Amino acid sequence: MTTHTISVLAGDGIGLEVMPVAIEVLDAATRDAGVRLDWRVQDWGSDYYRAHGTMMPADAIETMAATDAIFLGAVGHPDVSDVETLWGMLIPIRRAFDQYVNLRPVRSFAGVRSSLAGDPEIDVVIVRENVEGEYSAVGGRSYQGTPHEAAYQQSLFTRHGIERIATYAVEVASGRRKHLVSATKSNGIIHTMPFWDEVVAEVVDRAGDIELESVLIDALAARAVRSPQSLDVIVASNLFGDILSDLVAGAVGSIGIAPSANLNPAGEHPSMFEPVHGSAPDIAGRGIANPVGQIWAGAMMLRHLGHPQIADQIEAAFTAVVERGEVTPDLGGTLSTREVGAAVIAELAAQRSRATGA
Ligand code: NAD
Ligand code: IPM
Ligand code: MN
């Protein structure tokens, strides 16, 4: 029996609804596979903030560092400033554990109509830089309450940061169509982007057999909706990758499906797995959130922890369920969050009994 300790941070809003369902699915998938997930559930988030004045306790990073992975729902609450929720929890975790890769696969499901005309087949992996760029901590607000009020933020790109994300993207592209699109904005306005282009091109050149296309982010957004089939692996800065991942997930049909892995590839620190979506206050409390993004993120976590077969089984199970139309309202269905979870667990059992011929 292999045991993995997992820090569970359901967080806020629909994070609290999709997390228990994903945990049940992962427990069902690992139960007879010699793997035990030891869930270390933490009540950190906006309720914790209102009680204690911080999103997480002072020793939270230390507590999570002692676990093998972090499973996050979402953070964000209408009554708490996003500055507190994000700089108090999500961003410090990504940085403390140097989770510099944010890996975001997005693909079509048969039977789920794309939001795009012609219902194109979409299968894209976004490799998003996750700790620097436009999300740098250098910035703030000044002269508040005066006519000189201002806000500023310094984009910060380092050679080290660009090299390592490009290197990871090249690896992903090597295992797929060997075609890499780099999202850029190097037409002279944004000083950082010609540097991004140079370093990405150097890394790709060294790899030898990857075709690189640098595409301006505005044109790339149009291409993603006009001809998503022309895209396979996209490497992007923090902000561009953030926007593109919701765009492509929305094109597939719902951002409720899309997963995300915040990776520290060398494994010096725990990696964190979460859906792409946020806490969705507009639907929170109704039990109708799509749990697939959280479940898929859980499958990515099991793959990362060395259990590709279990990950494959979970992905096959939720794919079958979604493709049968057993889905939540965001995908046009009538099922609740819990009902989708139950359907995935039933499908896992059915696949097991088919595999064993029982
Ligand atoms: P959101 O992703 O929470 O929601 C955007 C839209 O998509 C909403 O209409 C929502 O109902 C829908 N949606 C999202 N997930 C869904 C799901 N699983 N099933 C069905 N529908 C779903 O984005 P937002 O509304 O812009 O942000 C809400 C809060 O979440 C903000 O405070 C934001 O900062 C935060 N946020 C957190 C994370 C995170 O924790 N990683 C990510 C994104 C946004
Ligand atoms: C995401 C989210 C976060 C991001 C926000 C909430 C800071 O949108 O994980 O995609 O931009 O990284
Ligand atoms: Mn986002």
Whole-number Å distance between alpha carbons of 353 and 358: 5
Predicted pLDDT of residue 101: 98
Output the tens digit of pLDDT for each of the chain's 358 residues: 999 999 999 999 999 999 999 999 999 999 999 999 999 999 999 999 999 999 999 999 999 999 999 999 999 999 999 999 999 999 999 999 999 999 999 999 998 999 999 999 999 999 999 999 999 999 999 999 999 999 999 999 999 999 999 999 999 999 999 999 999 999 878 999 999 999 999 999 999 999 999 999 999 999 999 999 999 999 999 999 999 999 999 999 999 999 999 999 999 999 999 999 999 999 999 999 999 999 999 999 999 999 999 999 999 999 999 999 999 999 999 999 999 999 999 999 999 999 888 6
Residues 190-220 have pLDDT tens digits of 999 999 999 999 999 999 999 999 999 999 9
* 242 and 329 together in one domain: no
* 150 and 48 together in one domain: no
CB distance 106 to ligand 2 below 6 Å? no
Whether 257 is covered by a domain: the verdict is no
Tell me the β-bridge partners of 183. 215
Calculate how far, in angstroms, residue 209's C-alpha sits from the geometric centre of ligand 2: 32
What ligand is nearest to the CA atom of residue 77? 1
ipTM score for this prediction: 0.99
* 274 and 308 together in one domain: yes
Predicted pLDDT of residue 357: 82
Q: Which of 218, 234, 252 is the last residue of a domain?
A: 252
Nearest CA, atom 27, ligand 1: 278
Helix (H) or strand (E) holding 242: helix 238-252
Whole-number Å distance between alpha carbons of 128 and 131: 9
Calculate how far, in angstroms, residue 186's C-alpha sits from the geometric centre of ligand 1: 30
In the numeric block, the tokens 């592209």 are attached to 173
Nearest CA, atom 32, ligand 1: 76
Measured from the Cα of 276, ligand 2's closest atom is 10
Residues 5-22 have pLDDT tens digits of 999 999 999 999 999 999
Whether 109 is covered by a domain: the verdict is no
Predicted pLDDT of residue 358: 63
Looking at residue 233, which CATH number applies to its domain? 3.40.718.10
* 307 and 197 together in one domain: no
Whole-number Å distance between alpha carbons of 276 and 293: 7
Calculate how far, in angstroms, residue 324's C-alpha sits from the geometric centre of ligand 2: 31
Whether 330 is covered by a domain: the verdict is yes
Whole-number Å distance between alpha carbons of 99 and 302: 17
Q: What residue numbers bound the domain in which 198 lies?
A: 114-252
Predicted pLDDT of residue 189: 85
Whether 239 is covered by a domain: the verdict is yes
CB distance 244 to ligand 2 below 6 Å? no
Predicted pLDDT of residue 294: 99
CB distance 75 to ligand 1 below 6 Å? yes
Q: Does residue 331 contact residue 292 with C-beta atoms inside 8 Å?
A: no
- Return the active site residues: 143, 185, 218, 242, 246
Calculate how far, in angstroms, residue 16's C-alpha sits from the geometric centre of ligand 1: 13
CB distance 236 to ligand 2 below 6 Å? no
* 280 and 220 together in one domain: no
Helix (H) or strand (E) holding 348: helix 337-356
Number of domains in the chain: 2
CB distance 276 to ligand 2 below 6 Å? yes
What ligand is nearest to the CA atom of residue 135? 2
What ligand is nearest to the CA atom of residue 277? 1
CB distance 173 to ligand 1 below 6 Å? no
Q: Which of 229, 252, 275 is the last residue of a domain?
A: 252
Q: Which of 190, 218, 252 is the last residue of a domain?
A: 252
